Amino acid sequence: MSNQCKVNQELSDWIITQRRYLHQYPELSHQEKHTREYLKSRLEELALVPTSYTGKDVVADLHGDYPGPVFAIRADIDALEINEETNLPFASKNVGYMHACGHDGHMAIVLGVAKLLSTKRTQIHGTVRFIFQHAEETVPGGAEELVKSGVLDDVSAIVGCHLWEQLEKGYVGFKEGPLMAGADRFEVTIQGKGGHGSMPHLAVDPVLVSTHAIQQLYSIVSRQLNPLHPAVLSIGELKMGSSYNVIPDKAFFTGTVRYFDPIIQQSIRESIQTMLDGVCTSFHASYDWKYEVGEPPLVNDPSLTSFVEKEANKIVSLEQIVQAEPSLGGEDFAHYTNEVPATYFFLGIGEKGHSFGHHHPKFDIDESMMIVGTEILSQAALTYLSAKE
């Protein structure tokens, strides 16, 4: 075994230790207090000076020995309100909360980059900024707050990655252009006229109106949009009535809209309005609705993406590098992609038939992929900040 491998094994073990510790203490979005303290201590051990742009994030700059641009690397740090069922020896000690998306792994990966690069300052022309971002799982989320507070003002490029269950273990997925969808929320209140279940002719039944409306809304994606432009509209919540023989007064439902192209977003939004108008008119009901624009689509910068992909090939074989499949999931890294050249890639941890999806109570990561992430990010940073001819 070469010396290089030995060093990497040590680093890999260290990264796994960090991940297992963080996994035991998951904290919800905007409440990542203990996590922040832990990250700060680890960064201080590496002779870095952690700071915070919003009071909820942790950011540390690693200055090279020479001047140059700022290359940022982002990890998200929040967990979810899920009761862990993995039976791992290092399972969550915060009952009801769980790192069920892999953000524990992301923190460990980026701590690993900090540890590795802190020994290579003589090769760095510029600064590596480590951004440990709070509240990825909520809207509004941490990325938006960080961008507003100026974390990217002097940054030339930013990179992030996600341990990804939908990609087979061992593979690394890159994609130029749109990777993750824009994710909006809408809510609708249908106002009918309540009455006795035996006398529907005297009432305006919001049960009937809302179910008609929902059926029509589901036809927007299948019948009104170009099938070559991916989009989703899903209703996740429907509330009405409280008694079997009473026609309720109103109905309430909420849903999500996912898209890659803002023109599609606009067209869905208009169609929802048109359909609500039409359905409610036809049943003599009225409605009130609200459309909330959420995370924008995550669009990878083509040249930065191909740069990081090339650097990744110094770490993993060409066969392991694949085109990432876009996801209609939202990811607030998108806010960074709107500001500076940015790229986000996937580290495959999936095992068909064996692994559980993100946000599942039995979700777990393949820890051996963390060192791969650390090495790719470190390699990309080093080359980006190497001496220019």
C-beta closer to Ni ion: residue 101 or 272: 101
User: Does 101 sit near Ni ion (CB under 5 A)?
Assistant: yes
CA-CA distance, 331 to 339, in Å (whole number)? Answer: 15
Contact 361, 99 (CB under 8 A): no
C-beta closer to Ni ion: residue 75 or 381: 75
C-beta closer to Ni ion: residue 101 or 247: 101
Q: Return the exposure string of 10-36: e unless at least 16 CB atoms fall within 10 Å of the residue's CB, then b.
A: ebbebbbebbbebbbbbbbbbebeebb
- Tokens standing for 192? 């009918």
Residue with smallest beta-carbon separation from Ni ion: 101
247: CB partners within 8 A, 6+ apart: 192, 194, 195, 196, 197, 200, 203, 205, 206, 207, 241
User: Does 79 sit near Ni ion (CB under 5 A)?
Assistant: no
Question: Smallest gap, in angstroms, from Cβ of residue 117 to Ni ion?
Answer: 24
Catalytic pick from 76, 84, 136, 332?
Answer: 136
Sign of CA dihedral 92, 98, 99, 104: negative
Question: Smallest gap, in angstroms, from Cβ of residue 136 to Ni ion?
Answer: 6
Q: Return the exposure string of 87-121: e unless at least 16 CB atoms fall within 10 Å of the residue's CB, then b.
A: eeeebbeeeebbbbbbbbbbbbbbbbbbbbbbebe
The question of whether 136 is a catalytic residue gets the answer yes
Query: How many residues at the interface with Ni ion, by CB under 5 A?
Result: 1
Stretch that binds Ni ion, among 44-52, 93-101, 173-181, 205-213 (CB under 5 A): 93-101
Question: Smallest gap, in angstroms, from Cβ of residue 25 to Ni ion?
Answer: 17
Stretch that binds Ni ion, among 79-87, 97-105, 189-197, 308-316 (CB under 5 A): 97-105
Stretch that binds Ni ion, among 61-69, 95-103, 273-281, 290-298 (CB under 5 A): 95-103
User: Does 308 sit near Ni ion (CB under 5 A)?
Assistant: no
C-beta closer to Ni ion: residue 103 or 212: 103
C-beta closer to Ni ion: residue 77 or 385: 77
The question of whether 78 is a catalytic residue gets the answer yes
CA-CA distance, 314 to 311, in Å (whole number)? Answer: 5
Question: Smallest gap, in angstroms, from Cβ of residue 240 to Ni ion?
Answer: 33
Catalytic pick from 27, 32, 76, 78?
Answer: 78
Using DSSP bridges, classify how beta strands 172-174 and 231-240 pair: parallel, antiparallel or unpaired.
unpaired
Using DSSP bridges, classify how beta strands 155-168 and 231-240 pair: parallel, antiparallel or unpaired.
unpaired
- Tokens standing for 135? 């509240």
Question: Smallest gap, in angstroms, from Cβ of residue 359 to Ni ion?
Answer: 8
> What residues form DSSP beta bridges with 83?
none
Contact 294, 254 (CB under 8 A): no
C-beta closer to Ni ion: residue 101 or 221: 101
C-beta closer to Ni ion: residue 66 or 356: 356
Question: Smallest gap, in angstroms, from Cβ of residue 102 to Ni ion?
Answer: 6
Q: Is 48 exposed, middle or buried (0-12, 13-18, 19+ CB in 10 A)?
A: buried
Count of CA atoms in the C-beta half-sphere (13 A) of 167: 23
Stretch that binds Ni ion, among 98-106, 187-195, 312-320, 359-367 (CB under 5 A): 98-106
- Residue 333's alpha-carbon distances to 84, 139, 175, 299, in angstroms, are 26, 12, 15, 9
Stretch that binds Ni ion, among 25-33, 94-102, 241-249, 299-307 (CB under 5 A): 94-102
Question: Smallest gap, in angstroms, from Cβ of residue 78 to Ni ion?
Answer: 9
CA-CA distance, 163 to 365, in Å (whole number)? Answer: 7
**Residue ranges in contact with Ni ion by CB under 5 A:** 101
Active-site residue numbers? 78, 136
